[in-house]
Amino acid sequence: MKAVVDQDACISCGMCVSTCPEVFEFDDNEKAHAVVDPVPGELEDSAQEAAEGCPTDAIHTE
Ligand code: SF4
């Protein structure tokens, strides 16, 4: 699985970073991005949970 953050849509709420810190981190401009590509199998469920919980639907998985 691949997780991509649309940084134009990210409002820096921190939800994904707290839900799945193994995959999502803030970068220098306070926008979230995925730090692993692809997302390891054992992290797919929490990454998907983060994507579904993002208030602006900024996280896309494929
Ligand atoms: Fe940005 Fe969405 Fe993550 Fe919040 S949950 S920090 S809006 S990508």
pLDDT at 20: 98
Give the ligand 1 atom nearest the CA of 11: 7
Going by C-alpha positions, the residue among 33, 36, 27, 40 that lies closest to residue 54 is 33
Kindly report, residue by residue over 10-48, the tens digit of the pLDDT: 999 999 999 999 999 999 999 999 999 999 999 999 999
Distance 22 CA to ligand 1 centre (A): 14
Residue nearest to atom 8 of ligand 1 (CA): 10
Longest dimension (CA), the chain: 28
- The preferred substitution site among 24, 26, 54 for testing ligand 1, maximizing ligand atoms within 8 Å of CB, is 54
Residues 6+ apart with CB under 8 A from 34: 2, 3, 4, 5, 23, 24, 47
